[in-house]
Amino acid sequence: MLNFLIRIIYITLAIIAVIGLIKFYTPFNENDYRRIVDKGEIVAGIRTGPSSYYEVKTEKIGYTYDVLQELSKFLNLDLKVIALDNTASALQMLNEREIDILADMGILNNVNLNYSHTQADYYLVYNSDFLKKPTNHQSISDHSINIIDSPKIIRGLGQFFNKSNIDLIIMNEKNIDEILHLLVEGKIKYTVLSSDELTFYKVNFPEIEIAYKIATDVKYNWALPNNTSHHFPNELSNFFTDMLKKNKLKYIKQRNLNGDAKYSFVGSKNFIKDLANIFPLYEFYFKSYSKKYKHDWRLLASVGYQESRWNKDAISYTGVKGIMMLTKNTSIDMKIDDRTDPKDSIYGGAKYLRKMLDKIPDQINQEDKIWYAVAAYNIGFGHVIDAIDMAKKDNKIISDWESLKPYLLKLSQSKYYKKTKYGYARGWETVKYVQNIRQYYDILVFLDSQDNVINNKEIDDKIPSTL
């Protein structure tokens, strides 16, 4: 009897073990959607970049990320995002069910579905400072074009170049930011941008010019794992049908891809005009809260102007609002009720700038700490620390603003930001941002030294050309 029971136990354990092994080694070809629902979370792989996904001031933003947010709401699931730059590893993670969906990764093989929800045109772009405008494939010098490692471009556009003997030079480990900087510097001659990317980047890279259109209505694709059951594709299709019907995709795209003109310096004439007509409305708040939080009011006013042109109704594509363009999380942290109220906004901005300033490491020169704080106001304190840490690894002494700038620029370069805590950031925008504020500040300092300067229409001629 005892032996019989022992045999029964052994047999049972063996069955359990076999079932476990089968479950472990068998691909998830059952209902993937049910698996996702049961865990209460959808895990999405997404390419890091300004038109898709990145973080600033602890806020996750980007067109693709916003669409994923809508998808998670539609499915009533939490959202987890994993930033991916390598297509091969992305596919592996997808088919091994480490991620549930790939968003906007391009035309991919070995997946169950490439679901297209929108299209974009693609253009050949060049730097007009260095090159004559090519009008067709035959007029491209060296017969080569530098592109990012993107299946959307390689497979989607390759067919348009094959017959013309054009070499597509794939820039491995380079993102769009890096390639455009190489283009601006004259180190490469041509690259390819979508209509969405062109709209976004043209603001900050005015040197970029369109040569000609390469392709029309190239699809944006979302991919699901191989052998996915029909339930998940059906839900995804229902989601995009609903988004298109309600025109939400167009709205999200416009909000995210219009670029941000605030990084352009408006010029002293426009600044003086706004100083005379708009600034008096908020002068009391700038001066009062600057005193409260121990700022130079001219600096705080310059930050406000750079952020919004002193427009109380300003709203960014990232969702920040008001004169000081505070995020929702920042407004909560600063304990203000209404970001669009000028008094609340300037109070919150002054308080937040002080918070950033107090966190700047003591190794930074006292007179330069404010520019570190201004940079943190724009890009987030975490990214500033990432830049400082990069310098430390290079055994560089970081003490002033000029020594930080090269490392802020590296935050958009994949070989550097992959090793940082907070990842990709548009550091080149932050450098422009601080530069513009310093110019506005210098103008205000100069004007403040004059008598009755705001009403003096000839004051622009008196401003030193160095400002």
pLDDT at 57: 64
pLDDT at 233: 80
3-state helix, strand, coil in the chain (%, to 5): 50, 15, 30
Active site (catalytic) residues: 307
pLDDT at 113: 54
State pLDDT tens for residues 68-86. 989 999 999 999 988 876 6
346 band by pLDDT with thresholds 50, 70 and 90? very high
Distance of CA 176 to the CA centre of its chain: 11
Q: Answer yes or no: are the C-beta atoms of 82 and 194 closer than 8 Å.
A: no
Q: Answer yes or no: are the C-beta atoms of 459 and 453 closer than 8 Å.
A: yes
Domains of the chain, first to last: 2-116+223-255 (3.40.190.10), 120-218 (3.40.190.10), 261-462 (1.10.530.10)
pLDDT at 463: 42
120 band by pLDDT with thresholds 50, 70 and 90? confident
1 band by pLDDT with thresholds 50, 70 and 90? low
Position 207 pLDDT exceeds 50: yes
Its sign, for the CA torsion 221, 226, 232, 238, is: positive
Mean pLDDT, rounded, for 363-384:
94
Q: Where is average pLDDT lowest: 150-154, 171-175, 266-270, 455-459?
A: 455-459
Q: Distance between CA 256 and CA 143 in Å, rounded?
A: 34
pLDDT at 299: 96
23 band by pLDDT with thresholds 50, 70 and 90? very low
| pTM of the model as a whole | 0.67
Position 271 pLDDT exceeds 50: yes
Percent of the chain with pLDDT over 90: 28
Mean pLDDT, rounded, for 57-61:
71
**Residue 121, helix vs strand vs coil:** strand
